[in-house]
Amino acid sequence: MYGTGLAKGLMLTLRHFVDSYIDDIRYGFRKYSHSVDNFGIRQGTQTKGVITVQYPDEKVAVPERFRFVPFLIVEDEYHPTRAGKDWCTSCGICAKVCPPQCIWIVRGNDPATGRPVPEPEAFFIDIDICMNCGYCAEYCPFDAIKMDHDYELASYDRTTHHIHDKERLSKPNSYWRSIAPTRAYEEMLARGTWEHKDAAKEARRGKSSSRSAPRPAAKPAPAPATKEAQPTPEPAVNAAPAPAAAAEGTTPWSEDDAKREERRRKALERKARRAAKRGG
């Protein structure tokens, strides 16, 4: 009969419509709660109907391999000797593999001798050209350049904001470990040590030759943390990173992160108290 096909199609749209309400009933008020697993189910393979991500309030988590614009890794304050130093040695491989050639590196020179030093004097990335391909991170032999997960970069003026210089690009090592714990861990295993290749080399050299000061210094706190973290995974500190970090469990820096989280939480509490006081 003419029209049955149409009716069948309309039944489908009706079913989609009903399904989304059934989902609502099934989830009840959890729809409006921002709990992690609820969100996971509703944006995963199980859900029926159409569920919008309430973007600025909640965000779809990006996977570890996600790539946006690159950033440079700088040793953070946890490293006793190299704090604030670049991992980049200005070898120029990233500039060579960059397809649109958006990376500019000025190789550092020792002012005294004039010889090149393994540190970039200047490092620029023109993010108006960058195609987010991730080659720089993939081919960097020193794990020094990584693809950032921060995609919220919109600006009102590109002339001043869109060439990222070294200062803008540099982010601490701990940041990389926080956005991509598993990959950072794998890389660490591949490097053979948790720290930068050069530092490791120095440490080895120091160990073999003099056995003096550098050795204890180069073996800082995070290393023992590895052993602790493996058998007993850290309990969840804040809601979001809990399950997987616990599941991975092997990240050697989880203790550091925990401390930092603790500090952050306390700061937030203080802030809340202050706000409450002001309100009262």
Q: How far is the CB of 119 from another protein (least distance, A)?
A: 12
Least CB distance from residue 102 to another protein, whole Å?
8
φ and ψ at 109, to 5 degrees?
Answer: -125, 145
- Supply the angle between the helices 222-229 and 254-279 in degrees, to the nearest 10: 90
CA 48 to chain centre: 31
C-alpha R_g of the chain: 25
CB of 178 vs another protein, minimal distance in Å: 4
Q: How far is the CB of 128 from another protein (least distance, A)?
A: 3
* CB of 215 or CB of 263, closer to another protein: 263
Q: Which is nearer to another protein, 83 or 244 (CB)?
A: 244
Residue 165 or 210 having the CB closest to another protein: 165
Task: Name the residue nearer to another protein (CB basis): 205 or 259.
Answer: 259
Q: Which residues contact 112 (CB under 8 A, 6 or more apart)?
A: none
Q: How far is the CB of 133 from another protein (least distance, A)?
A: 4
Distance CA 42, CA 146 (A): 31
Torsions phi, psi for 95 (to 5 deg): -65, -30
Nearer to another protein, 70 or 214 (CB): 70
How many whole angstroms separate alpha carbon 118 and alpha carbon 139? 17
Residues in a beta bridge with 116:
109
